[in-house]
Amino acid sequence: CFHNIHLPASVIQWEEFRPNTHRTTPTMSRNDPAYMGRRSASLSTPSRRPSHRATTTSDAAKREKEVESWRSSVKASRVRAERADARLEASLKEAKKLQEELRLEEEDLSRVRKQADEAAKERAQCEAQRKASASAIHRLETKLVNLHRLAKRTSGAKTAAHF
Q: Per-residue pLDDT tens for 50-103?
A: 555 666 788 888 999 999 999 999 999 999 999 999 999 999 999 999 999 999
Mean pLDDT over all residues of the chain?
78
pLDDT at residue number 34: 57
pTM, rounded to two decimals: 0.41
Give the 3-state DSSP-derived string for the chain, with helices as H, strands as E and coil as C. CCCCCCCCCCCCCCCCCCCCCCCCCCCCCCCCHHHHCCCCCCCCCCCCCCCHHHHHHHHHHHHHHHHHHHHHHHHHHHHHHHHHHHHHHHHHHHHHHHHHHHHHHHHHHHHHHHHHHHHHHHHHHHHHHHHHHHHHHHHHHHHHHHHHHHHHHHHHHHHHHHC
Pseudo-torsion of CA 39, 44, 46, 49, nearest 10°? Answer: -30
Q: Which class for 34: exposed (0-12), middle (13-18), buried (19 or more C-beta within 10 A)?
A: middle
- Give the closest residue to 43 by CA, choosing from 80, 86, 14: 14
pLDDT at residue number 13: 45
Which carries the bigger pLDDT value, residue 52 or residue 148?
A: 148
Alpha carbon distance 23, 21 (integer Å): 5
pLDDT at residue number 30: 57
CB 84 within 8 A of CB 43: no
pLDDT at residue number 41: 46
Q: Give 18's pLDDT tier (boundaries 50, 70, 90).
A: very low
Q: What is the mean pLDDT of residues 4-8?
A: 51
pLDDT over 70, % of the chain: 62
Q: What is the mean pLDDT of residues 111-138?
A: 96
Q: Give 10's pLDDT tier (boundaries 50, 70, 90).
A: very low
Alpha carbon distance 41, 23 (integer Å): 16
Q: Give 137's pLDDT tier (boundaries 50, 70, 90).
A: very high
